[in-house]
Amino acid sequence: MKMYEYLKSLHLIFVITWFAGLFYIVRLFVYHAEAKDKPEPEQSILIRQYQLMQYRLWYIITWPSAILASFFAFWLLFFTEIGKVWLTQPWMHVKLGFVFLLYLYHFKCHRIFVELQNNEVKHTSGFFRLWNEGATIILFAVVFLVILKNAVNWIFGVIGIILFSVLLMLGYKFYKRIREKNN
């Protein structure tokens, strides 16, 4: 049982650092896109700095965390008795579906990362702000699934975060409109 608790702790630590990396990399994408609108030499200085920050975050924190979180999850699911039981539960099937979506999100972030490293900015800062909500929705769904261990109740948590996100976006747009009006 102690081994299971160590494995679960390591899995949780790396899930947290993986999400931290995903949240921060997209914020750096926002700043990178906004730097494209700056005049020279500020633009070049900022973009070089953001590229360096993105590179370090992506390869030193985010990718290793994703790999280690998955390694410990695999170990928990296939080499512990409780993991074998969980694999028969509907909530775990839904959770693994969200983990699959998380990997799709991660791979899309990797593609964007590569584009930005090559100085190709194909999206706006607004797109990246919205894109950042994808990881948040997945996080909410997975946490509700793991805590409630119910294949249906996670929906209420996700609906709640979506509504909260909509309120935040409306608040941001309202604030932006007031700021532009005052300038």
Two tokens, residue 128? 């990246």
Dihedral sign (CA 56, 30, 23, 118): negative
Contact yes or no for 10/67 (Cβ under 8 A): no
Q: Annotation-wise, does 11 bind a ligand? A: yes
Cα R_g (the chain), whole angstroms: 19
DSSP type of residue 102: H
CA 8 – CA 17 distance, rounded (Å) = 14
- Is 95 annotated as a binding-site member? yes
Q: Which residues are annotated as a binding site for heme?
A: 11, 95
Q: Which residues are annotated as a binding site?
A: 11, 95
